[in-house]
Amino acid sequence: MTPLKLYLLRAVHDWAVDSGFTPQVLVDATAVGVKVPPGYVENGRIILNMHPKAVSHLEFSAAALRFSARFAAQSFRVEIPYPAVLAIYARENSQGITFPETPAADKTEPGPDGKPPEDKPPGKGPTLRVVK
């Protein structure tokens, strides 16, 4: 099943680019499976520019957001599983969508094969909250 977040991310990305804005994603860099340049992570989070002029090979796959970008003149293949995406928005006006943070229980270290352990108990389901 394809996650709803994939479609929401793609929609906001396309809207931002079509409107002449710069789409950016806020990522929980401590989540399992996140591959971002560690030197750019602050307080466990990273903001990444996803404008087509800033990235190449952008892919909204069924499991993760993937693209290549340059950091300090070095190419880096970025991979962000959808649960790690906290927000996508336009840099110029901050309009976009925020998502709930993954509970700490879901932030386990990957096993020796690079995949999360299979015996992890399921996390709580989605919740709604009122934002004033």
State how far the alpha carbon of 88 is from the alpha carbons of 4, 74, 75, 82, in Å: 14, 24, 22, 11
Residue 14 lies in a domain: yes
Residues 102, 123: contact at Cβ < 8 Å? yes
What integer pLDDT is reported at residue 100 of this predicted model? 86
Rounded Cα distance between 119 and 15, Å, is 39
Is residue 2 scored above 60 in pLDDT? yes
Residue 27 lies in a domain: yes
Sheet with 85-90, edge to edge strand ranges: 45-49, 23-28, 85-90, 96-98
**pLDDT higher at 103 or 82:** 82
Residue 44 lies in a domain: yes
35 is in which domain, residue-wise?
A: 4-101
Mean per-residue pLDDT of the chain = 85
Residue 124 lies in a domain: no
117: confidence class by pLDDT, cuts 50, 70, 90: very low
Residue 19 lies in a domain: yes
What integer pLDDT is reported at residue 66 of this predicted model? 96
Residue 113 lies in a domain: no
User: Which CATH number does the domain housing residue 53 bear?
Assistant: 2.30.30.220
Residue 50 lies in a domain: yes
How many domains does the chain divide into? 1
What are the pLDDT digits (tens) for 14-59? 999 999 999 999 999 999 999 999 899 999 999 999 999 999 999 9
Rounded Cα distance between 44 and 58, Å, is 23
